[in-house]
């Protein structure tokens, strides 16, 4: 769907293929989220260390538990799956109308 202004205006484009404009927008939105998330994490880690609930060393050496690793693996799978160009449900074959008229 085109990005629209209040009365349905299409966004300005700067690249040869307008799809690139949209991909850039997705990347920049994700980068913005990442910055916000990292900022929160830094705050949290600083507070944890200050309150001596967790030491910086522990944070540096702690790895994910088995369950956490499985969650990370699922995330990686989902990313790859999104790129694999496969339908996630059964689609109509090109000759379906010939088969079932």
Residues at the contact surface with another protein, assessed by CB under 8 A: 5-6, 11-12, 14-15, 21, 24-25, 28-29, 31-33, 35-36, 39-40, 43
Q: What's the rounded Cα separation, in Å, for the pair 44 and 48? A: 6
Nearer to another protein, 36 or 72 (CB): 36
Q: Which is nearer to another protein, 25 or 82 (CB)?
A: 25
CB of 71 to another protein, least distance (A): 23
Tokens of 52: 């001596």
**Torsion-angle region of 52 (φ positive above 0: left; ψ -120 to 50: alpha; else: beta):** left
What is the nearest approach in angstroms of another protein to the Cβ of residue 4? 12
Residue appearing with tokens 């349905």: 8
Minimum CB distance to another protein smaller for 42 or for 71: 42
* H runs (alpha helix) in the chain: 18-50, 56-61, 66-83, 96-99
């Amino acid at each position: 769907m085109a990005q629209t202004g209040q009365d349905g205006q299409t966004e300005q484009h700067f690249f040869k293929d307008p799809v690139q404009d949209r991909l850039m927008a997705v990347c920049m939105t994700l980068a913005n989220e990442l910055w916000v998330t990292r900022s929160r994490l830094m705050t949290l880690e600083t507070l944890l260390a200050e309150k001596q609930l967790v030491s910086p060393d522990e944070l540096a050496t702690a790895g994910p538990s088995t369950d956490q690793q499985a969650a990370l693996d699922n995330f990686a799978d989902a990313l790859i799956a999104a790129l694999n160009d496969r339908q996630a449900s059964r689609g109509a074959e090109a000759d379906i109308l010939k088969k079932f008229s």
